[in-house]
Each structure stands twice: as C-alpha cells, then as structure tokens.
Structure 1
Amino acid sequence: MIYDGPAPADSDAPRTGGVPLAPAGFVWPVCGCGGPLRFFAHLPVGDDVLSVFLCQNDPGVCEFWDARSSANRVHLFPREGLRPVAVPESGLALLPVTSAIRVHGVAFDPDEADEEEGEPDAYDIARQGWRREPGERFGKQREVLGSLGGSPSYLEDDRLPACPSCAGAMEFAAHLEEGLTRETAMNLGGQLGYVFVCRACREGAFLTD
C-alpha cells in the first residue's frame, strides 16, 4: 500500500485518516482511559471494510500494541450502506491529514534484497522493491503505508491472536506503517502494525511488533 497524496475525509477508497464510515447506529469506540480512540485506517477488502482505531490520548500509556487491550479496535463492516460517523467533540479522534492509498504490485528478485540474517521476509522484500522502482530516491521507502493480505512479517506464532468470540485462529489481513509525515502518521512507537480478522464472527484485532 503506497501513499497517494491527500484524500477526501469521507472517501470510500483505501486511506488513512479522515472520518470512519460505518453502519447506522455505530458508536465511536472509547479506550479504557476514557478518551475516544483515534481513527487510523479505512481499508476496503472485497465486499467488506476494515476500520481500524487506536488510542492516542496519551501515547505510551494505553496498551494499543496489545490485541486484547481496550486501546485499539478493528471493525469489519459490510461495505454497502456505510455513512460518515459523527466525530467526538473532545479527545484525539482524527488524524490531522487524510492520506489516499493505492495498492501497487512490486516485481523484485529476492536475490537482490539487502543482506540480512535468516530467510528474506516477503514484506521487507516488497518494501525494498518499491524503494528501487522506478528509481531510488531518499525517503522513498517511507511512502509504503503497509500491505494487504499475505502473511504477518516476523510475527512469532505465540502472538497470533485468537478470535474473542469463537476462540479460533484469526486471519491476517494487513500490515500498517505509522505513516509518511507527522501530520499523516499514527504514533505506533516506531513499530509495525498488524491487522487480523475472523470473518465468520466479524471480529478484528490489532497489535504491533
């Protein structure tokens, strides 16, 4: 997923920031600290939309990195019939800037990847491929905002979340990077975010590495 400039706040296209789109009756999620969660990403996946929220009211205090914490929330909505949600009047509920995302397929030979210990990781290889295609420039890799599908990069098996409803293994859905600039970015403590979903129960989970 590549940064693609500013976007309308209520766009139904892939984006970070802006206003969440949700079904009628949706209630803005609140963290255990009492403040609203900040809306992070709107990610259409087929006939559904992943809507990701994290607490940023006092970064580093609330455990937004823990899949079982009240400091994050992932919703899986049917895409049809969604509407912009009323934004809380107080708290850090929105990012300052809405960023469009475009999905870009990277063709890159793993043998050309930077040398690292262990087996090359598919997500790292893709990020390196984007940096070098169509031409390398300083900071280009920062334009990568994550990826859809595939497998979670370098995440240990014992950290894979179970669905809170059926206790089954959840499906990996997306990587999410912090963002390109201070205005467009979510504070993830410098870590990579992972989004998981149980489609049968329509449950989601978020954690960082």
Structure 2
Amino acid sequence: MTTLLLHGGATDPTAPVSRAGGLPLAPEGFGWPRCAECAGAMQFIAHLDRGTDVVAVFMCQNEPGLCEEWDAAAGGNRAYVFPAEELTPLAAPAEGETLLDKVAVLTARPVEAETYGKEDTFGPVDGMAVLGQLGGEPYWLQWDETPDCGGCGKEMGFVAQLDQVANFGGGYAYAFACDACAEAAFLWQC
C-alpha cells in the first residue's frame, strides 16, 4: 500500500492543510529562512500536515543551480517541524523568489502499489495529477541519501516525496523528520 499525494485543486494560500505553495504557517516570531550560500530569502515549497505537527519546506531559487539547494546539508534548502497548533501565516519578503506561482492542496490517497516513483507507474488517479507520496519508502533516483538528525545523530524518518510542485531539475524532492528532536531535512535528486 502506498499513499499518493494528489493535486486536490486550488486552495487559500494560508489553508492549514497539506499543500504546495502559498504562505508558510509558523510559530509567532519565526523569521523567513534565508539561504546559507547567497543569503537570499528562500522559496516556500510545501506545508505537510502530519496531524500533531507540520513539516514546512523551503528551497533557494534566487540563483537556481548556483546554491546547492539539492543537498540536505549545504544550506540551499531548509525544512522545519512545527507543532500544528498556534501557527500563523508569515509575510513573504519583498525580494527574492519566495513563493510558487500556484497553491495546490496535496490530497492523500492510499492505493494498492508497492512504491511511487517508477516511470509511468501512475497516471492521474480519479482525475487528479499525482504530485508525490506521503510516508512509506522513498524511491531514490540516484542513491539513498537519507539524512541523519543533527540533534541525536540517528537516521531521520521519511515524510514525503514531491514531484512537479517546484523546480527539482526534473527529479524528485524528499522531506525527512526526526520526531524525537523535532528537526527536519529536505533534498532532491534528478
């Protein structure tokens, strides 16, 4: 069984649901993330609702390809785990590529399949485009790059695989989290 993330249509940019694009929801006082390489404001990619918490994903798009936004540890992307309660929308900075052009609900749908990611495995499901996978096992395009947690040093758990929601070089993006330390990581492969 695999849980696909389907394009569930447009939504409000601050909706507290799993979505690609819009504005990030974060705790009061949280500042918009900046790229460790170019210092520009990062682009908000996804809000992944896990029930008791959310994973917010950001990636540098100020100089695509110059900052190492594909690497989990290089500083060109960031992911955060926030408690699901008392989150407020962040105002986007005026400079930089900070928002996706569209906002789409990521609707979770279990399907009878071993994995997501093999070429031509999935077309639209119930008329909705497949935008990724929630949980399960990642389908690596190159090699396993599961990150270790910076807090406890253990391997992080897989949260989601994203496809077609942002510029991932024609590949897939992967979000991970350490539930014990409330830390997250993000990377992509093509």
Alpha carbons of structure 1 residues 149 and 58: separation in structure 2 relative to 1, 3 Å: same
Aligned length: 183
> How far apart, CA to CA, are the structure 2 residues paired with 1:148 and 1:126?
18
Amino acid at match of 1:97: K
Q: Quick check: 1:106–1:126 contact (8 Å CA) kept in 2?
A: no
Q: Report how far residue 107 of structure 1 moved.
A: 2.8
Alpha carbons of structure 1 residues 10 and 123: separation in structure 2 relative to 1, 3 Å: same
Q: Choose between structure 1 and 2 for higher RCO, CA contacts under 8 A separated by at least 6 residues.
A: 2
Q: Report how far residue 178 of structure 1 moved.
A: 2.5
| Runs (4+) off by over 6 Å | none
What does residue range 1-209 of structure 1 map to in structure 2 within 5 Å? Answer: 1-31=5-35, 32-107=37-112, 122-124=115-117, 128=121, 130-131=122-123, 133=125, 143-154=129-140, 156-157=143-144, 159-179=145-165, 186-209=166-189
Alpha carbons of structure 1 residues 190 and 132: separation in structure 2 relative to 1, 3 Å: closer
Q: In proportion to residue count, which structure has more helix?
A: 1
CA RMSD of aligned residues (A): 2.0
> How far apart, CA to CA, are the structure 2 residues paired with 1:125 and 1:190?
14
TM-score normalised by L of structure 2: 0.89
Unaligned runs of 5+ in 1: 109-120, 180-185
> How far apart, CA to CA, are the structure 1 residues paired with 2:55 and 2:158?
12
- Three-state SS of the structure 2 residue aligned to 1:145 is strand
Q: Report how far residue 6 of structure 1 moved.
A: 1.1
> How far apart, CA to CA, are the structure 2 residues paired with 1:51 and 1:107?
28
Unaligned runs of 5+ in 2: none
Q: Report how far residue 149 of structure 1 moved.
A: 0.6
Q: Quick check: 1:60–1:189 contact (8 Å CA) kept in 2?
A: no
TM-score normalised by L of structure 1: 0.81
Q: Report how far residue 124 of structure 1 moved.
A: 3.2
Amino acid at match of 1:151: E
Q: Deviations over 1:21-78 (max 9, x none)?
A: 0000101100020210100001100200010000011111111110102110000000
Q: Deviations over 1:55-109 (max 9, x none)?
A: 011111111110102110000000000011121111111112111121112235x
Higher-Rg structure is 1
Alpha carbons of structure 1 residues 133 and 173: separation in structure 2 relative to 1, 3 Å: closer
